[in-house]
Amino acid sequence: MDQNIQFHTKSIKKEQVSKNISNEYIKSLFLMPFNDLIYQAQQVHRSNFDANKVQLSTLLSIKTGGCSEDCAYCPQSARYNTDVENEKILALDKVISAAKAAKESGASRFCMGAAWRSPKQKDLDLVKEMIVEVKKLGLESCATLGMLNQDQTRQLKEVGLDYYNHNLDTSPEFYGDIISTRTYQDRLDTLQNVRDQGIHVCCGGIVGMGENLDERVGLLAELANLTPQPESVPINLLTQVEGTPLFGIDELDHFDFVKTIAAARILMPKSFVRLSAGREKMNEATQALAFLAGANSIFYGEELLTTENPTSEKDQELMKKLGITAI
């Protein structure tokens, strides 16, 4: 085995991950031969997880469209001309029905997403009811509602929210090319408010938005240096939607996506690394490589907020071929 690979693998196995993981080290992972990178990621993964188990989450859009933000990738922004309509928040009974269906299909976590900059109190009150009902079904609860202040996170903790998702999206250096309506610090502040209440953090980003390697490295550096590291790290491959500013850009090579998964696994050995958006464009071989690289969570169900996702039946077929079972 290469001496450098052996050293880094052993150090991570012993959970001696630096609190200041350098961009230079992260970039060196991307520049490794592909087989060596996957081998190292597999070692780290097997030291911390069952390599043949995957956590299944289902994501439901409880409030779709009409968002005031200008995220360049998002068809739910009111600023862009897409097919996504501005809809009212879902009724409680519809959310409960969707959660029951998710559990019956094998999901263990139910995530609720709303296209808000930040929730109003009347909307937060309804989301709190949803969380209570989801947990009654024996599912883990997760929400992504935009920016939260300290009082809002306290309220979510009181009703038992398990996870809060708030992605960094990209690196600080590239962020201004993607979003202007909220700052990077706004995102970090929400994450801190969530942590202060003892709610698990789900935080990742999107690749394939036109960022270069250094900017992709910068995203992983921000995620890996969060203290503590996120319990769940969704890695999204941009789903291009007509009408959004990023529609028509060059697509990211899938090998670069798999490398991102592998680097995330090495850098965040205890985190669940989730294959999120973009799987509908990946063939089975690409997804199998991503699992080999250390991904051990997927979004499960036919739709992710407003974009397509592989059906549960297709995912079950692939998992059967790979000998993977649900956690």
Catalytic residue numbers read 67, 71, 74, 111, 142, 202, 274
For the record, the structure tokens of 115 come out as: 């296209």
Say whether the peptide bond before residue 228 is cis (omega within 30 degrees of 0). Answer: yes
Contact 84, 65 (CB under 8 A): yes
- Which residues, 6+ apart, have CB-to-CB distance to 171 below 8 Å? 211, 214, 215, 216, 217, 218, 219, 221, 222
* Residue 149, CA distances (Å) to 146, 154, 276 in order: 10, 9, 26
C-alpha 319/C-alpha 6 separation (Å) is: 30
The DSSP code sequence of 169-210 is BS-HHHHTTT--SS-HHHHHHHHHHHHHTTPEEE--EEE-SS
Residues near 217 by Cβ (< 8 Å), separated by ≥ 6?
23, 26, 27, 30, 171
DSSP letter, residue 278: T
The DSSP symbol for 236 reads E
DSSP assignment of 52-116 equals TEEEEEEEEEEE-S-B----TT-TTBTTS--S----PPPPHHHHHHHHHHHHHHT-SEEEEEE--
3-state secondary structure of 232: strand
Q: Any idea which residue has 């942590």 for tokens?
A: 195
